[in-house]
Amino acid sequence: MQLKKLLALLLSAALALSLLAGCGGESVARSLLALLDGQYANVSVEMDPDLEADLRQAIRTAESENAGDDAAAIRAALETLLGSKVTFRKLGEGQQGDTAFDLIFYAGSDPDKAAQAAYSQWNPILSNVPDDGKYDTSLAMVETNSGVWMLVKATVEKAGTVDKPDKDDEPDPVTLKSLTVTGPSTTNYEVGDKFDPNVLTVTATYSNGSTKAIDLTQCTLKINDQLAENYQFTSTGQHTITVSFGGQTATVDITVSANPHGYYEDTDGTYFVTGSNGLQKLFDTPESDALSANIILKTDQTVTGTFGDFLNPFTGTLQSEAGKKYTITLSSKSGQTRTLGLFDQVGNSRYGGTVKNLKILLAADISFTGDTQNCSGAVAGTNYGTIQNCDVDLNGYSITDTYGDGTGTGARCAVGGIAGENQGTIRGCSVSMGAGKIAAKYYCGSGGAAAAGGIAGSNTRGFLIGDFGFTATNGTVTDCTVTGSGTITATLTASSPGEYATKIAAAGGLVGYNDSDGAVSGTYSGTITAQYNGGGPVSATDNPIGNIGAGNNCAYAGTKIGYQVTN
C-alpha cells in the first residue's frame, strides 16, 4: 500500500515537472518588469531565479498533495519556504528585516494582460510605502498548463515612518496613463524594404506625471494588423504602425515609395515585379538569377526582345499574383538576331520551367529569317516545361519564321501562337488571331518539315535526364482555343525532291506536326493552308487531321492537327 502511494506521488510530481519544464513566463516577466522597474524612488525591483525555484517547489508540493493548482496549498508551501513577518498589504508597516510575499494566478496566455493583472494588485502597495524607508522586491513567474503564477517577495531594508492618514488623503496608485510613439522625420522606405523597428521611440506616461522610455522588446508591434517582425513592405503609400504595451496602444504612420528598380526580392528568393518595366530590368541585370527564379508580377509589363537562349533557358516560374492575369506587351528588339517570343526556351531536358496566368499582347511582329534551325512562338520558341492558362493576342501582328538556304536536310521550321516547338505541356491557353498570321517557311535540300499551328508548330517527343538515366516524355497540348479570322500557313520548298516521308508541310488549327503519342485537344476558327514545292495550297476543311492534298503530295492541313505521325 505504501509503495502504491509512493509511486502515485512520484508520478504526480513527474507530471508537474513535465508541465513546467522549459517555462518561466519570460514574456510575462519582461512585461511586468517593464511596468514596475524604475517607478519607485525607494523600491528596487528585479527578477530572482532563486525565488522562481521556490515557486516551482511550492507548486510541486501542492501537486504531490493532490491539491493541483490550489492557491491556498501553494501559499502554504511558500510560507514554509519563505516565511513572512508581515502581510504584503502591510509592507509599509514592517520593520527592518521583515519579509512579505504575495501570489497571483492569471488564467490565460496573454503576457501583457497577465503582467497588468499583477501590476494592478502590487503597484498600490509599492507606491504607498513610506518615503523614508527602503525596500527590495524580487519577482518570479512560472507557467503551467492552466495559466501563469506570479510571485513577489519584498524585504524591508530600512523601516520608514508610517503615517496614518485619513482614507480620503491616501494618494492614488501610480498607473500607466498613455503611450506615445514617434518615428523618423523622413523615411527612405521603398517597396521591398524590411521594417526596422529601431527607428521608433516609445514613451510611457504615468498618472503621477512621470515618463519612461520603453524598450521595444517589451512591446508588441504590428504593421497593417500584421506582426512587424521581419515585415516587408509590398505596396506604396501610407502604412500604420501600432505599438502596444501595458494595455495601452499608440500609432505612427510612415510612407513607402516605389522601388526604382521595378522589382524586389523577398526572403525566400522570390522576385516581385512592381514597375511596368521591372521584368525587363530584372532580366537585363547580369548578376540576377532571373532565368531560374520564381517571379510574380504585380502589374502589367512592357518587354522588348527575347529572354535567354537555348543554352540558357528559363527554368524558373513566371506568373501573375494570385487571382490576377497581367498583360505583357511584347515588342521586337532592334538588332536581335533571334526574335522568338518572350523566351527563347522554357525548360530543358533536365529542368522544367513554368509560365502561367499571363496575357501576351504583341506590339510588333515576331519574325526570323536565316539559315539556322529556328522555332518561334509568343511565349517561347521551344517549350520543355509547362505553359498554362496563358492568353496571346496577335493584335494584328504576325509570327513568322523563314528558314533555310536550300541545302539543309531533316531539320524542322516550327511556328506556333504559344510555342514553336513543344516537348512539354501547354494547357488551358488561348490565341486570339484577329487578322494576324502564323507562318512557317522552310527552304530545304532533299527533305525537312515546315510546321505551323495555332498553339504549337510541332508537338513532339522529348526526354528528361535524371540521376538514373533517361525518361521519355510526350508533348501535350490540351484544352486550348484559337479564335479569329487570321491565317495559319506552312510552306516547304525542296531543291532536291526526294521521298514524301522526308518532306512535310503541315498546318493545323492547334498543332502543325504531331508525334504519335502527342495529346492534342481544343478548338480553332480561321484559315489554314499548307503548300509544298509550289503546288496549289491545301486547305483544312472539316478534317481534324490533315490529309495529303491532291497535286500537292507533301502538304497537310487540318482543323486540329496538320500532320499526325502514326508509327
Are residues 332 and 248 located together in one domain of the fold?
A: no
Q: Is residue 499 part of a domain?
A: yes
Which region among 159-163, 389-393, 474-478, 479-483 has the lowest average model confidence (pLDDT)? 159-163
Nearest to 419 by CA among 367, 365, 379: 379
Indicate the number of domains in the chain.
Answer: 3
Q: Is residue 266 part of a domain?
A: no
Sheet of strand 552-558, all strands in order from the earlier edge strand to the far edge: 375-377, 409-416, 447-453, 503-508, 552-558, 547-549
Of the three residues 158, 184, 214, the one that is the final residue of a domain is 158
Are residues 147 and 184 located together in one domain of the fold?
A: no
What CATH number did the domain enclosing 126 receive?
3.40.33
**Spatial contact of 454 and 508, defined as CB atoms under 8 Å apart:** yes
pLDDT at 551: 42
**Averaged pLDDT, 122-142:** 91
Are residues 329 and 409 located together in one domain of the fold?
A: yes
Name the residue range of residue 120's domain.
24-158
Are residues 186 and 106 located together in one domain of the fold?
A: no
pLDDT at 422: 95
d(CA 270, CA 234): 13
Cβ-based neighbours of 496, under 8 Å, separated by 6 or more: 445, 446
Task: Look up residue 312 and give its DSSP letter.
Answer: B
**Spatial contact of 496 and 550, defined as CB atoms under 8 Å apart:** no
Of the three residues 125, 158, 191, the one that is the final residue of a domain is 158
Cβ-based neighbours of 393, under 8 Å, separated by 6 or more: 359, 360, 361, 362, 432, 434
**pLDDT(14) > 70:** no
What CATH number did the domain enclosing 500 receive?
2.160.20
Are residues 357 and 421 located together in one domain of the fold?
A: yes
**Spatial contact of 173 and 208, defined as CB atoms under 8 Å apart:** no
Q: Is residue 181 part of a domain?
A: yes
Q: Across the strands, what pairs with 392?
A: 360, 431
CA 92 to chain centre: 57
Share of the chain above pLDDT 70, in %: 83
Selected residue with higher pLDDT from 167 and 490: 490
Q: Is residue 84 part of a domain?
A: yes
Nearest to 567 by CA among 485, 466, 463, 461: 461
Are residues 293 and 182 located together in one domain of the fold?
A: no
Q: Is residue 364 part of a domain?
A: yes
**pLDDT(82) > 80:** yes
**Averaged pLDDT, 202-206:** 90
Are residues 435 and 327 located together in one domain of the fold?
A: yes
pLDDT at 544: 67
Selected residue with higher pLDDT from 524 and 388: 388
Q: Is residue 100 part of a domain?
A: yes
**Spatial contact of 331 and 304, defined as CB atoms under 8 Å apart:** yes
Selected residue with higher pLDDT from 404 and 442: 442
* Dihedral pair phi/psi, residue 125, rounded to 5°: -75, -50
Are residues 206 and 307 located together in one domain of the fold?
A: no
Angle, helix 2-20 to helix 49-64, in steps of 10 degrees = 140
Residue 123 in grid coordinates:
503597484
**pLDDT(275) > 60:** yes
Are residues 250 and 381 located together in one domain of the fold?
A: no
d(CA 476, CA 152): 73
Enter the pTM of the model: 0.64
How would residue 188 be classed by pLDDT, with cut points 50, 70 and 90?
confident
d(CA 42, CA 556): 100
The 3-class secondary structure across 366-381, one letter per residue, is EEEEECCCCEEECCEE
Q: Is residue 549 part of a domain?
A: yes
Nearest to 392 by CA among 359, 427, 369: 359
Average pLDDT of every residue of the chain: 83
**Spatial contact of 359 and 319, defined as CB atoms under 8 Å apart:** no
Are residues 427 and 322 located together in one domain of the fold?
A: yes
Nearest to 189 by CA among 253, 283, 251: 253
Q: Across the strands, what pairs with 74?
A: none
**Averaged pLDDT, 34-63:** 89
Per-residue pLDDT tens over the stretch 137-167:
999 999 888 889 999 999 999 998 886 555 5
d(CA 58, CA 69): 10
pLDDT at 404: 75
Are residues 240 and 333 located together in one domain of the fold?
A: no
d(CA 390, CA 11): 64
**Spatial contact of 529 and 547, defined as CB atoms under 8 Å apart:** no
Are residues 96 and 226 located together in one domain of the fold?
A: no
Q: Is residue 104 part of a domain?
A: yes
Share of the chain above pLDDT 90, in %: 34
